[in-house]
Amino acid sequence: MVIKKPRIVIIGAGMAGLTAANKLYKSGVTKGAFEVCVVEGGNRIGGRINTSEFGGDRIEMGATWIHGIGGSPVHKIAQEINALESDQPWECMDGFLDDPLTIAENGLMDFAQGKKKSIGNGIEVDLFGNGNGNRNGNESRNGNRNGNESRNGNRNGNENGNGDESGNGNRNGGGNGNGNGNESVGSFLRKGLECYWKMESRKETEEVNGYGDWNKKALEEAIFAMHENTQRTYTAANDLYNLDYSAESEYVMCPGEEITIAKGYSSIIESLASVLPYGVIQLNKKVKTVEWQQPECVMGEKDGDSRPVKIQFLDGTSMSADHVIVTVSLGVLKEGIFNDENDSGVFKFNPPLPNHKTEAISRLGFGVVNKLFLKLSPDFNLDVDRFPFLQMVFHKSDDQVKNPKIPWWIRKTASLSPIYKRSSVLLSWFAGEEALKLEELSDEVILDEVSTTVSSLFSHKKGYGNVKFDKVLKSRWASDPLFMGSYSYIAVGSSIGDMDSLAEPLPNTTVFESTSGSPPFQILFAGEATHRTHYSTTHGAYFSGIREANRLLQHYHCIDDV
């Protein structure tokens, strides 16, 4: 009689899935303990990691930064495969661009940056009537110097320089009017801004001398909003009032500088996959249903196969397994529990996941962040003029003095900057509703409206004239059914405990020991949304893949207790 080896199937060939496959293959398959298969719904590996090219430069459509090189497994792999150097220019190869140029709608520049302006008789003042010129302007160095994707800006809630004053007595509750007792990052920061205004004790309508349609309070609020919008791209929260304040303190940053990968993030993925023999990874295998056995069910053979889990694919085929590691995004899991229609394209479990898991999935936040790449037309002379790291300050969409030529979807993006010095490729980040709108717009509309917006901002600055773009490339993470968004966050009303619940295997060992009729660890969960301290990052996804691989290796006595 031939004894079948246990079969482990990993759903998803992104960072978490390939890390688990890599670990399982090297530590278990090569010892003959079990067999491993990776099924991927798309036509490529990498998941939310997708290196591409645009305008002759190497760019990232998804994950971009190594968020701290200290202790980062991504950085370690990049070093081992010599991926940190390249002859081809790559996105953010210069690191974070310094010396941003901050321009407010309708031409206000110097005051928006905190620079001093002469008001006659040799007297210079800043926007706030002070001589030091930097009460609010210096946030552009700390909050927006990471202006592309870095998570450094506000993990401790103080990105705007005003947060400290509101922190006393409000860090551990108090609520924000939503009835659940949790304070949001948005409410915390707003309290800081309001406290600052109270300390200033000046007239709200006091105008900025020489710039008619801006008053001081309106400009301060607009600069504050610019930094809020940067934070939205860091966290993927559409509204910072949905981002739980207390949970943010549990997020852990890796120490050290933040860098990009010269040979592209996909080189990390390719390295992880390189140890797997041909055929282990199966592409274009989109999962329809994962059928598993609950503890109270009696185990029986399915179609002559005694393995407890059966995966049904959209192409009509199926595969049985002893264990399935699910690494799909939180967005896909949400769609599976919220979509009650008989939609064959929705990832489902049969029987459905237990209540504690579906409730955790429902409460956790999962947002969309998209990147917009634009190539400057040849008319822009980069040999003479380097396009600046542009920070944009806008009136509110409902403000009567707004420029009607600037569309609403651009008003909540904070910056537009070259992907490295002297590059003709510019990058802007969009989050939430604006990111969704970006996915809908045609390239022609994007080129026209961004050109109009940037030209209007530069209309008061000599030497720039009309700025034109001739090519555009954008990510579409929300509309891709394999992802349905970008990354997770702790929403108000959820907690780190929900990520722990999501990470629990089904059935777990405790249940198995008390109900011997059902095999343990039929379904395991990995991915950035299952890591309590490094969620939303590639290294968090990596750690989660290692965690689930070790769980099974320990189960099959391939490693000591971990």
> In this predicted structure, what is the pLDDT of residue 116?
47
Neighbouring residues of 541: CB distance < 8 A, sequence distance ≥ 6: 14, 15, 16, 19, 327, 526, 527, 528, 531
Please answer whether residues 203 and 128 qualify as being in contact, where contact means their C-beta atoms are separated by less than 8 angstroms. Answer: no
In one letter, which amino acid is 388? P
d(CA 186, CA 183): 8
d(CA 136, CA 324): 51
d(CA 376, CA 358): 46
Q: Is 514 exposed, middle or buried (0-12, 13-18, 19+ CB in 10 A)?
A: exposed
How large is the angle between the packed helices 73-80 and 538-555, nearest 10 degrees? 90
> In this predicted structure, what is the pLDDT of residue 239?
95
Q: Map residue 533 onto helix, strand or coil.
A: coil
Q: Map residue 305 onto helix, strand or coil.
A: strand
d(CA 306, CA 242): 46
> In this predicted structure, what is the pLDDT of residue 169?
30
Cα 558 to Cα 8, 236, 274, 409, distances in angstroms: 14, 38, 22, 53
* DSSP output for 352-411: PPPHHHHHHHHHSEEE-EEEEEEEE-TTS-TTT-PPP-EEEE---TT-TTS-TTS-GGGT
* DSSP output for 5-50: PPEEEEE--SHHHHHHHHHHHHHTGGGTS-EEEEE-SSSSS-TT--
Tokens coding 540: 């968090």
Stretch (H or E) spanning 103: strand 101-104
Stretch (H or E) spanning 185: helix 185-200
Q: Is 202 exposed, middle or buried (0-12, 13-18, 19+ CB in 10 A)?
A: exposed
d(CA 306, CA 96): 55
Mean pLDDT by 10 residues, the chain (562 residues): 83 98 92 92 98 96 96 97 95 82 76 47 43 35 35 38 32 34 87 85 56 74 91 95 91 93 98 97 97 70 75 96 98 92 82 96 98 91 73 88 91 94 93 98 97 88 76 98 97 96 86 59 98 97 98 87 48
Instruction: Please identify which residue in the block is written with the tokens 């999935």.
Output: 361
Q: Number of C-alpha atoms within 13 angstroms, CB side, residue 200?
A: 20
Q: What angle do CA 470, 476, 478 make, to 5 degrees?
A: 155
Q: Which residues pair with 311 in a beta bridge?
A: 290, 319
519: preceding bond cis by omega (within 30 degrees): no
d(CA 48, CA 477): 8
d(CA 478, CA 78): 28
Closest alpha carbon to 147 in 382, 392, 368: 392
Cα-Cα-Cα-Cα dihedral sign, residues 21, 22, 28, 30: positive
- Give this prediction's pTM: 0.86
Tokens coding 296: 């109270």
> In this predicted structure, what is the pLDDT of residue 8?
97
How large is the angle between the packed helices 355-363 and 496-503, nearest 10 degrees? 140
d(CA 450, CA 50): 25
Terminal CA-to-CA distance of the chain, rounded, Å?
34
Return the DSSP state at 515.
Answer: -
